[in-house]
Amino acid sequence: MPEEILSAEIALTRDGVVRGACPHDCPDTCAMLITVENGRAVRVAGDPDHPVTNGFLCAKVNRYVERTYHDDRLRTPMRRTGPKGSGQFEPITWDAALDEIATRLGEIARSEDGPQAILPYSYAGTMGLVQGSSMDHRFFHLLGASKLDRTICSMAGTIGMRMTVGANIGADGEGVPESDLVLLWGTNTLTANPHLWPFILKARERGTPIICIDPIQTRTAMQCDEWIPIRPGTDAALALGMMHVVFARGLEDKDYLERHTLGHEAMRERAAEWTPERTAAVTGLPMETIVSLGERFGRAKAAFIRVNYGLQRHAGGGMAVRTIACLPAVAGHWRRAGGGVQLSTSANFQFNRAALERPDLGPPVRTINMIRLGDALTLPDAGVGGPPVKAMIVYNSNPASVAPDRNAVLQGLAREDLFTVVLEHFQTDTADWADIVLPATTQLEHWDIHFAYGHHYVSLNRPAIAPIGEAKPNSEIFRLLAARMGMTNPIMQDDDLTLIRQALCSQLPKIQGVTMEGLLERGWMRLNVPTPYLPFADGVFSTPSGKCEFYSQRMAKMGLDPLPTYTPPYESVERDPELVARFPLTLISSPAHTFLNTTFVNLTSLRRQTKEPEVLLHPADAERRAIAVGAMVTVRNDRGAFLARARVEPTIREGVVWAPSIWWGKLAADGANANQTTSQRETDLGHGPVFYDNQVEVEMA
Ligand SMILES: Nc1nc2c(c(=O)[nH]1)N[C@H]1C(S)=C(S)[C@@H](COP(=O)(O)OP(=O)(O)OC[C@H]3O[C@@H](n4cnc5c(=O)[nH]c(N)nc54)[C@H](O)[C@@H]3O)O[C@H]1N2
Ligand SMILES: Nc1nc2c(c(=O)[nH]1)N[C@H]1C(S)=C(S)[C@@H](COP(=O)(O)OP(=O)(O)OC[C@H]3O[C@@H](n4cnc5c(=O)[nH]c(N)nc54)[C@H](O)[C@@H]3O)O[C@H]1N2
Ligand SMILES: [Mo]
């Protein structure tokens, strides 16, 4: 495309419709149309032509204009004036802010502690590659800062999928209308993945049963034909019990097993151990439920299993996902459209991430697990060896609210000798602890390119409006900081459009045909895969053996059971009966419908619906504790406590309580949230968090 056309293409329109992409951490990654009048965004809408966005946005992102022009948007850089955590700041110029950051980071890097005392902390506030994994990564690599292991959401399941099928890819949601059985397994689809729902409704029109496996009767479970209220953390046992039934009835696909799987005899023997009796005892489900589910699964030709990240937030989360991922190979469902498992589609997006992030730059350094931030900030060797953390640069994340073991995190953030910089849209809980706060642009104000983890379309985000106040894109902030710190490597001055082109410059097959020109013209493009995409129809897997690995040598090398198995939660009768006696309730703190992690919690319109922290209890559990509907209760364990309003309904399994999350501590009456009670323990695979492997007691406040 000639340069002058390109520059005309990229100029901001004062009036018209601009194509963008929803930046949020959600499988749907919607194509957005932003209406601009007089240089101001007035409306966002879902692109009606996008096969997955389907013309609608969710309850939250429909409010994106309100969020963008919110009175509380940070408009200038600020320096702390009060004590740490007080939230008292004064506006300063960009020059003063950048000078101070460059000076402090330079001092730390040259000190005895060295550059590894500097820690970047970021996650998926935006999923965009430009604003989330390009200049920032280059900057920290060149600086020699500690690396951050970004485990907080999906790593257990990601590794679980890799162990069984070789990569975190799976069945295509666009095939769901052809499914003859849909299992929504540990996912609140209508809240967390709403654009899958229309495909599910199409399957239902043909009589396909929709079944939800979840300890909570979520709004999704209420819309399903059946709700299976499993005991938290026992999904691997249920999957093994289902396999038992499939094999016992001779419903397995023998041809697929022989040709495309590794260890099917051992798998059959393992499944034989999981009788309906044993499975019922572990999962807390009636035997008939297990037998009926196994039979229906075995008789189906193309069952679609939507596992999502909820069920892997337990000690055995990786193994649970790996075990469920074995099911479609047992029954041969990968062969047909609509059959198979989907945890994610992300590994299909074969962008040139190395070119964007340049991990080759800089010295080898230590890695800090983001879910152990409490330890990293409070232990002298950051909990991993090496210097203490002396500076933390936070962007695209709100760790003071989202990281587990919140009391430990806040204790760390309160350290007088810790220099904290936060790049943000709003004065979040985390920003309150900063020394310097920098105003960042929103998705309406910057360029980006996006993958998705629930479908197969790449999308481009164009800026629709000029930055609000003095806000700058993350990419620009790291360019400016690099220049201030004397980094002369020219890659630190690549502009955002150059970065997007670098991401697309890949030899790998699934990205071929996705071009800058196409994206500028249409806003989004399908990966180079068929519709629907059947990744394992031909039985070729990307595991070491090239087969679906029931038996995994890699798991054995990690000291884990090479075969699918059930791993009890840390905080369970099996592993810690004494703890469970003291804290008999399992707390699940999964997303509130109107929040996106902690994003959108500060929007008045959405807080009309989610007014205050709540906790849902089963009537039997409430009665035992003399808790009345609407009472203020304390949810607590040895790690901490938070206040919530009691909701009492039989829409949850007995013994489980639900605190819709993630609240900003400072917007709650007691300044606390559910992460006061969660632990820094890690899952079996991927070093992920165990947010829902969390025993508590609830009592009248
Ligand atoms: N509205 C909204 N949408 C979101 C988000 C949000 O905050 N708000 N967050 C986004 C992000 S970052 C993510 S990772 C996803 C999260 O969305 P999902 O991947 O769907 O995961 P969760 O919402 O954490 O949990 C889903 C369900 O799993 C259930 N669950 C918990 N433990 C178990 C278990 O052991 N077994 C079974 N079978 N079920 C269990 C919970 O009760 C919950 O209803 O959603 C994304 N979409
Ligand atoms: N108890 C409990 N805790 C949980 C979970 C749970 O279910 N229960 N879920 C976990 C999961 S799955 C996840 S993914 C994490 C999510 O944790 P985070 O990734 O920290 O997500 P958010 O809380 O939404 O915070 C993102 C922040 O990034 C900011 N942001 C957005 N775009 C930009 C940008 O372009 N530039 C800059 N500088 N900032 C930007 C937003 O304003 C917001 O404050 O939380 C985890 N924590
Ligand atoms: Mo997440």
Give pLDDT tens digits for 43-77.
999 999 999 999 999 999 999 999 999 999 999 99
Q: Which residues lie across from 585 on neighbouring strands? A: 696
Q: Beta strands of 52-180 (E only): which ranges?
A: 78-80, 89-91, 118-122, 147-149
Test site for ligand 2: of 148, 151, 597, most ligand atoms within 8 A of the Cβ: 597
Tokens of 304: 């679609």
309 CB less than 6 Å from ligand 1? yes
Looking at residues 361-389, what average pLDDT do you find? Answer: 97
Looking at residues 685-695, what average pLDDT do you find? Answer: 98
Bridge-based pairing state of the strands 40-46 and 31-37 = antiparallel
pLDDT > 90: what percent of the chain? 97
Q: What is the pLDDT of residues 229-248, one digit of tens each?
A: 999 999 999 999 999 999 99
Could you tell me which residues come within 8 angstroms of residue 567 by beta carbon, excluding any fewer than 6 positions away? 236, 315, 316, 319, 320, 684
Calculate how far, in angstroms, residue 25's C-alpha sits from the geometric centre of ligand 2: 8
How deeply is 27 buried, as exposed, middle or buried, from its count of CB atoms within 10 A (0-12, 13-18, 19+)?
buried
Calculate how far, in angstroms, residue 125's C-alpha sits from the geometric centre of ligand 3: 10
Closest listed ligand to the CA of 344:
1
Closest listed ligand to the CA of 635:
2
Q: What is the pLDDT of residues 99-141, one digit of tens each?
A: 999 999 999 999 999 999 999 999 999 999 999 999 999 999 9
Q: Beta strands of 14-132 (E only): which ranges?
A: 16-21, 31-37, 40-46, 78-80, 89-91, 118-122
Q: What is the pLDDT of residues 183-210, one digit of tens each?
A: 999 999 999 999 999 999 999 999 999 9
Can you give the length of the chain in residues?
Answer: 701
- Parse the chain into domains and list their residue ranges: 3-68, 78-152+367-457+468-486, 156-343+534-557, 577-700
CATH number for the region 3-68 comes to: 2.20.25.90
Residue 217 has pLDDT above 50, yes or no: yes
Q: Whose CA is nearest to atom 11 of ligand 2?
A: 153
Give the residue from 330, 322, 164, 321 showing the smallest Cα distance to 247. Answer: 330
pTM of the model: 0.97
The pLDDT score that the predictor gives to residue 13 is: 81
**Model confidence band, residue 538 (pLDDT cutoffs 50, 70, 90):** very high
Closest listed ligand to the CA of 595:
1
Residue 509 has pLDDT above 90, yes or no: yes
Q: What is the pLDDT of residues 548-606, one digit of tens each?
A: 999 999 999 999 999 999 999 999 999 999 999 999 999 999 999 999 999 999 998 88
Q: Is 255 in contact with 335 (CB distance < 8 Å)?
A: no
What 3-state class would DSSP assign to 35? strand
Looking at residues 293-322, what average pLDDT do you find? Answer: 97
Calculate how far, in angstroms, residue 657's C-alpha sits from the geometric centre of ligand 3: 20
CATH number for the region 78-152+367-457+468-486 comes to: 3.40.50.740
How many Å apart are CA 688 and CA 668, to the nearest integer? 27
The pLDDT score that the predictor gives to residue 606 is: 85
Q: Please measure the distance between the N-terminal and C-terminal CA atoms of the chain and give it in whole angstroms.
A: 65
Tally of CB atoms within 10 A around 626: 9
| CA angle (541, 355, 165) in 5-degree steps | 10
The pLDDT score that the predictor gives to residue 15 is: 87
Q: What is the pLDDT of residues 251-287, one digit of tens each?
A: 999 999 999 999 999 999 999 999 999 999 999 999 9
Q: What are the C-alpha distances in Å from 84 to residues 400, 423, 430, 611, 672? A: 13, 17, 11, 28, 17
**Model confidence band, residue 633 (pLDDT cutoffs 50, 70, 90):** very high
How many Å apart are CA 283 and CA 259, to the nearest integer? 32
The pLDDT score that the predictor gives to residue 5 is: 46
Test site for ligand 1: of 22, 24, 25, most ligand atoms within 8 A of the Cβ: 25
CATH architecture of 577-700: Beta Barrel (2.40)
Output the DSSP codes for 348-404: G----HHHHH-TTSS----EEEGGGHHHHHHSTTTTTSSSPP-EEEEES--HHHHSS
Q: Whose CA is nearest to atom 20 of ligand 2?
A: 397
Q: Is 48 in contact with 62 (CB distance < 8 Å)?
A: no
Q: What is the pLDDT of residues 332-372, one digit of tens each?
A: 999 999 999 999 999 999 999 999 999 999 899 999 999 99
Could you tell me which residues come within 8 angstroms of residue 263 by beta carbon, excluding any fewer than 6 positions away? 549, 550, 551, 562, 563
Q: What is the DSSP letter of 652?
A: B
How many Å apart are CA 187 and CA 168, to the nearest integer? 17
The pLDDT score that the predictor gives to residue 405 is: 98
How many Å apart are CA 249 and CA 4, to the nearest integer? 67
Closest listed ligand to the CA of 28:
1
How deeply is 72 buried, as exposed, middle or buried, from its count of CB atoms within 10 A (0-12, 13-18, 19+)?
exposed
233 CB less than 6 Å from ligand 1? yes
Quick one: which atom of ligand 2 is closest to the CA of 596?
Answer: 24
Calculate how far, in angstroms, residue 701's C-alpha sits from the geometric centre of ligand 3: 31
Q: Which residues lie across from 682 on neighbouring strands? A: 689
Q: What is the pLDDT of residues 405-425, one digit of tens each?
A: 999 999 999 999 999 999 999
Test site for ligand 1: of 22, 26, 153, most ligand atoms within 8 A of the Cβ: 26
Test site for ligand 2: of 441, 598, 657, most ligand atoms within 8 A of the Cβ: 598
Residue 6 has pLDDT above 60, yes or no: no
218 CB less than 6 Å from ligand 1? yes
**Model confidence band, residue 1 (pLDDT cutoffs 50, 70, 90):** very low
Written in H, E and C, the secondary structure of 3-28 is HHHHHHHHCCCCCEEEEEECCCCCCC
- The mean of the pLDDT values for the chain is 97
**Model confidence band, residue 609 (pLDDT cutoffs 50, 70, 90):** confident
Q: What is the DSSP letter of 664?
A: -
428 CB less than 6 Å from ligand 2? yes
Bridge-based pairing state of the strands 436-439 and 78-80 = antiparallel
**Model confidence band, residue 2 (pLDDT cutoffs 50, 70, 90):** very low
The pLDDT score that the predictor gives to residue 14 is: 84
395 CB less than 6 Å from ligand 2? yes
Q: Is 138 in contact with 492 (CB distance < 8 Å)?
A: yes
Tokens of 688: 């992920």
Tokens of 488: 């002369």
How many Å apart are CA 58 and CA 190, to the nearest integer? 9
Closest listed ligand to the CA of 123:
2
The count of C-alpha atoms lying within 13 angstroms of the C-alpha of 371, restricted to the half-sphere facing its C-beta, is 22
The pLDDT score that the predictor gives to residue 604 is: 86
SS3 content of the chain, % helix, strand, coil (to 5): 35, 20, 45
Residue 24 has pLDDT above 50, yes or no: yes
How many Å apart are CA 26 and CA 192, to the nearest integer? 7
Q: Is 455 in contact with 27 (CB distance < 8 Å)?
A: yes
Pick the CATH number of 156-343+534-557 from 3.40.228.10, 3.40.640.10, 3.40.50.970, 2.70.98.10: 3.40.228.10
Residue 613 has pLDDT above 60, yes or no: yes
How many Å apart are CA 678 and CA 587, to the nearest integer? 9
291 CB less than 6 Å from ligand 2? no
